[in-house]
Amino acid sequence: MEKLALLISGIIFLIVSILHLLRALSNIEVKIGSYILPKWLSFLGFIFPFLLSLWLFKLVRG
């Protein structure tokens, strides 16, 4: 059961990281009020969840 939770978490983090990468590589603007989030923030949003997903997949493998 624990490995299933780790696997599902890894998949979710991987999906989040891919979405951040797609946003960073495309011309999609993200606005919060009148503030537009910079693209470098999406690159960070790609790196950290991607590394977390790799770590979780490694834990699943044992």
Q: Two tokens at 50?
A: 């991607």
> Quick check: 62 pLDDT over 90?
no
Per-residue model confidence (pLDDT) at position 15: 97
18-35 tens-digit pLDDT: 999 999 999 888 899 999
Reported pTM: 0.85
40-56 tens-digit pLDDT: 999 999 999 999 999 99
DSSP assignment of the chain, as one string? -HHHHHHHHHHHHHHHHHHHHHHHHS----EETTEEPPHHHHHHHHHHHHHHHHHHHHHHH-
Whether the CB-CB separation of 9 and 56 falls below 8 Å is answered with: yes
